[in-house]
Amino acid sequence: MSRSILTMSGHSPSPAPVPMIDLVEQYETIRDEIHEAVNRVFATQRFVLGDEVADFEEEAAPYCDARYAIGCASGSDALLLSLMALEIGPGDEVITSPYTFFATASSITRCGATPVFVDIDPATYNLDPAAVEAAITPQTRAIMPVHLFGQCADMQPLWRLSVRHSLAIVEDAAQAIGATYSGRKAGVLGTVGCFSFFPTKNLGGAGDGGMITSDDADLARRLRRLRVHGDAGRYQHREVGINSRLDALQAAVLRVKLRHLPDWTRQRQENAARYVHLVDAHGLSDYLETPGCAPENEHVYNQYVVRVRDGQRDSLIEGLRAQEIGCAIYYPQPLHLQECFASLDYCEGDLPEAERAAAETVALPIYSELGEARQESVVRAMAEALGVSRNLRARSISLPDPEKRAA
């Protein structure tokens, strides 16, 4: 028995390499549709806004269950334009998460307001509503929840706070297109919703792009004005806006990809379910915490982020890299500890759950086309890196019926 364990371990082949994301594979499935759309734009030579962008907005709004969708140049600008439209500026505070992509917080400082970081819920990595409540001051004007990794923040308590304290809610839904909370879509869970079409997002363009959703007609009109320098038409500037338009080429590509988004999202969800099964089957459940999904949420898995127990995150990453398995840390340094926010006076230890998440988590490949064989490679590589493989083989060898093994 012990001899056969050694033999089997000694011959374990390295799993095949798996990239963190492979955009080429997806592109190849829609190549003709994309080229047709791009050619259509070139034929008209109308590259900025125009019918292509208007048509995309008309198709994207219902996808998000929103009355209005306004295209813009990036997700970062979507956040900035939203705060501008809500007239948030110097002296105002916006409460947000420290555990997110940088643009969430920089949009607040770019309009002159002050980001107030509060801690996250360790199960979902999203804003902790109790911490939000505790941070409200007379200067607070808005809450900016981030639907991190593709799962909506816990909105019900945030709605109550927004009503009680007259606060706007600006959703950073950059990672969450199509996600739902209690059956309602990300992007219409607050005053405005902000999306990114950065190529690695679930709906990714051929470059930068963004969008704002809202059910408020006045706000939508204002956002359309702010994205073109505040021009109300015929060069009449009632307020100062910015140049943040969506390109027609981006809109044309996004219109094609939007048609496939439900299928791609379903594949991501299937991949996520398969990881749970594989992690368990490979005996890794004691080492890794797979992503929690709150019962009221439908998660769209822009990222699949696991928590690694017992301080083994960095050695796991090293082991995965050695086996050419893609992985990434989202995010290694919480925003309250970034040098550029030093003047806000946060210290290490102030927001312990965000800091712990930054130290303990790793994102695994989850792209739609990933599929079972590559996921098996990822999980086998993790077992190898964590030193679990040997024990598991010992267990699986002891399972078969001795009679059959002899035969």
CA distances from 277 to 47, 363, 372 (A): 46, 17, 11
Q: Do strands 288-289 and 68-72 pair parallel, antiparallel, or not at all (unpaired)?
A: unpaired
Size of the site for ligand PLP (CB under 6 A): 15
Q: Which two tokens stand for residue 280?
A: 């368990």
Does 366 participate in binding ligand PLP (rule CB under 6 A)? Answer: no
75 touches ligand PLP by CB under 6 A: yes
**Distance set, CA 67 to CA 61, 70, 193, 255, 358 (Å):** 6, 10, 12, 18, 37
Per CB under 6 A, 125 contacts ligand PLP: no
* 271 interacts with ligand PLP by CB under 6 A: no
H/E segment holding residue 172? strand 168-172
| CB 171, min distance to ligand PLP, A | 10
Distance CA 154, CA 13 (A): 44
Q: Please, which residues have CB within 8 angstroms of residue 72's CB and are 6 or more apart in sequence?
A: 78, 81, 209, 210, 211, 212, 223, 227, 244, 245, 246
Among 104, 126, 214, 271, binds ligand PLP (CB under 6 A): 104
Per the CB < 8 A criterion, the answer to whether 69 and 57 are in contact is yes
SS3 10: helix
Minimum distance from CB of 200 to ligand PLP (Å)? 8
Q: Which residue is nearest to ligand PLP (CB)?
A: 75
What are the residue ranges of helices labelled H in 213-344? 217-226, 248-281, 313-322
**Binding string, residues 201-240; x marks residues near ligand PLP by CB under 6 A:** -------x-x------------------------------
Instruction: Examine residue 196 and tell whether it contacts ligand PLP (CB under 6 A).
Output: yes
**For ligand PLP, which stretch binds (CB under 6 A), given 60-68, 101-109, 163-171, 396-404?**
101-109
Comparison of 196 and 213: residue with beta carbon closer to ligand PLP: 196
d(CA 390, CA 112): 56
Distance in Å, CB of 282 to ligand PLP, minimum = 30
As given in the structure block, the two tokens for residue 129 are 């509503």
Least Cβ distance, residue 186 to ligand PLP (angstroms) = 12
Q: Which stretch binds ligand PLP (CB under 6 A): 39-47, 167-175, 290-298, 349-357?
A: 167-175
Residues 103, 188, 248, 251: which binds ligand PLP (CB under 6 A)?
103
Contact positions toward ligand PLP, by CB under 6 A? 74-76, 100-101, 103-104, 146, 172, 174-175, 196, 198, 208, 210
